[in-house]
């Protein structure tokens, strides 16, 4: 997961499966302007996933397929 030009000091990263079940959550301090996170997807089933990256100033949404 890569994002740039982010604003804020803290982030929350959520990953949901297609049914809306949260399967991953992480919180931490943001080092602007870039965010990079490598998710090990070997334990995840094939399908579509939704990513939400929130800071105290903005929210980004994306989807990916494994």
pLDDT of the residue at 8: 87
Neighbours of 40 (CB within 10 A): 6
Closest to 65 in 3D by CA, of 15, 2, 4: 15
* End-to-end Cα distance, the chain: 13
pLDDT of the residue at 1: 85
Q: pTM of the full predicted structure?
A: 0.85
Per residue in 17-63, pLDDT tens?
Answer: 999 999 999 999 988 778 888 888 888 899 999 999 999 899 999 99
Q: 21 CB contacts (<8 Å, ≥6 apart)?
A: none
């Amino acid at each position: 997961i890569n994002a740039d030009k982010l604003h804020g000091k803290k982030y929350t990263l959520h990953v949901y499966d297609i049914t809306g079940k949260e399967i991953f959550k992480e919180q931490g301090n943001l080092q602007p302007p870039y965010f990079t996170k490598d998710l090990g997807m070997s334990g995840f089933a094939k399908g579509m996933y939704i990513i939400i990256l929130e800071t105290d100033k903005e929210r980004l949404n994306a989807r990916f397929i494994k």
